[in-house]
Amino acid sequence: MSYDTVREVDPAIADALTGERERQNETLAMIASENHVSEAVLSAQGSELTNKYAEGYPGERYYAGCAHADRVEELAIERAKKLWGAEHVNVQPHSGTQANMAVYLAMLEPGDRILSLELEHGGHLSHGHPANFTGKTYQVEQYHVDVETGYIDYEGLRETAESFQPDIIVSGYSAYPRDVEWTRIQQAADAVDAYHLADIAHITGLVAAGVHSSPVGIADFVTGSTHKTVRAGRGGIIMCQAEYADDIDAAVFPGGQGGPLMHNIAGKAVGFEEALSPEFEAYARQVVDNAKALGEQLQDHGFSLVSGGTDNHLVLVDLRDSHPDTTGKEIEQALEEVGIVLNANTVPGETRSAFNPSGIRAGTPGLTTRGFDDAATRKVADLIARVVDHPEDEGTKAQVNEAVEELTDRFPLYE
Ligand code: DSN
């Protein structure tokens, strides 16, 4: 995609856009929630549908001229139903957080009770954090991972559900490296007559490809984002049983949003079509294989992984055992200097702060989109280890930066 037409009008923005493309081409995107969409998804998202208002749903719009918008949204829904096996799908949420908001709006009253995983243990802001609307609108209690094992404390969750009597239990996480026992959480919800929302934002693509267990058909509501492992561009999605369809649709529009972002919905439709291919299943499998390879190689270098490994697309490194004086933020910054982009992250039992925590989170969806296999991913682990061992050594960082350049040249991204 050329930015020549942008440049004619706005050179500053054209510079930023080309700069961002170069940054993505020349660095390794290892933020676990990021990925690279295809040129087809980029093109659909940059289409004339950005001009169109289409409040309502296909066949029932509040404005004229929606024939093509209807077709796009119908196809996105049809493909999503095939991908995840859902009874009802709403593709209009602008993001994963908006998708969660719609579920709360549909099923809860202000002051109702949410039981969710603590943010520091891998939860998400929109699951009830005090700084988020959820923490301000609802009563929130949290469950935890077992700090020793790094796995969800399912028994603790069940006990807290019994004492707190939540209206909804939220599962699905943003920094949890293990498969989730959806049925066990559903049983805890059933025992207290609570709804169960499974937020699969991070693993949407892994679930679609069948390489991670699915909560669809178990939890009452499944939300996700469409730009992470499923590579369908920015946005959110809600899946639910047919009995909740009208409530969910009304909570998205007019409840929480106005006009749908039809250009993004076109991107979702294209990305979902790509995800229905056998190549996508192979991609998702490789994402998990690469995460395992990354984790094993880091362990060989002496690093501690929360839960001792991974079942999905990410690893969470607790630096306190191997590098007690080094913080996640220092490593995030040192790695960015050499072209490896990941994020500092809290770890269970965090002893520092959320802004300067003790861990780093690293994901493989972006590398795998570029074509990285196990061996290439292990090389990246070697490079990370060198920088973590010597974060202030300019010579080491220059050598690692050269090695990163070789890898980005070998696995090119956008032309
Ligand atoms: N910001 C995303 C993440 O990195 O996990 C979640 O919204």
- The domains of the chain, with CATH numbers, are 43-275 (3.40.640.10), 281-410 (3.90.1150.10)
Helix (H, G, I), strand (E, B) or coil at 362: strand
Lookup: tokens for 388: 């973590």
- pLDDT at residue 90 in the model: 98
Of the pLDDT bands very low, low, confident and very high (cuts 50, 70, 90), residue 2 is confident
Flag whether pLDDT at 244 surpasses 90.
Answer: yes
Mean pLDDT of 194-215: 98
Flag whether pLDDT at 62 surpasses 70.
Answer: yes
Residue nearest to atom 1 of ligand 1 (CA): 33
* Ligand 1 pocket, mutate which of 30, 174, 200 (most atoms under 8 A from CB): 174
Q: How far is the CA of 128 from the centre of ligand 1 (A)?
A: 15
Is the CB of residue 290 less than 8 Å from the CB of residue 374?
A: yes
CA angle at 133 for the pair 131 and 214, rounded to the nearest 5°: 100
Q: Ligand 1 within 6 A of 100 CB?
A: no
Q: Ligand 1 within 6 A of 33 CB?
A: yes
In this predicted model, what pLDDT tens digit does every residue of 72-119 receive, in sequence order?
999 999 999 999 999 999 999 999 999 999 999 999 999 999 999 999
Q: In what order do the strands lie in the sheet with 113-117?
A: 88-90, 236-240, 221-225, 195-199, 168-171, 113-117, 139-143
pTM of this structure = 0.97
Q: How far is the CA of 343 from the centre of ligand 1 (A)?
A: 10
In this predicted model, what pLDDT tens digit does every residue of 155-167 receive, in sequence order?
999 999 999 999 9
Residue nearest to atom 6 of ligand 1 (CA): 174
Written as one string, the DSSP assignment of 173-194 is -SS--S---HHHHHHHHHHTT-
